[in-house]
Amino acid sequence: MEQIETDWKLKLRYGKLKTPYQHYSIISEGVVEELSEGFECPKGDAFMAMKIWAEDMEQAADLFTYVSSQIGFQIKGKLETWETDPNEPPRDNPHGYDIKFTPFESA
């Protein structure tokens, strides 16, 4: 399994695996409402983070916003976006993965 992961990363790094997408990580402050099945976090204030393959930062932000609304997370803060190294290979379409929530108590 580790060899397969290394193969796609090396192919991507050296141009043997081509993709029109860049890899981003985004985090935002918001409110967890009723989450979709498969996601867990107490209701209330939280940060949501997601890794995304997208054409550019604008498309990544749009995808983050869309997915968050579909799974029950209401964005309250600005989106913090970084270009990052991927943990999953690109696909044929833009996509997000590795969605995580970190709850916190507001002051």
Please report the pLDDT score of residue 15 as a whole number. Answer: 85
Please report the pLDDT score of residue 5 as a whole number. Answer: 60
> Is pLDDT above 60 for 25?
yes
User: What is the residue whose two structure tokens read 């579909």?
Assistant: 70
Q: What is the pTM of this model?
A: 0.88
pLDDT tens, position by position, 38-57: 999 999 999 999 999 999 99
Mean pLDDT of 73-96: 96
Residues 28 and 60: beta-carbon distance below 8 Å = no
For the four alpha carbons of 65, 59, 82 and 36, in that order, the dihedral sign comes to positive
> Is pLDDT above 80 for 2?
no
- Give me the residue spans of the domains in the chain: 20-103
85 vs 11, 12, 54, 77, 102, CA distance in Å? 14, 11, 13, 24, 21
42 vs 25, 29, 80, 93, CA distance in Å? 23, 14, 22, 31
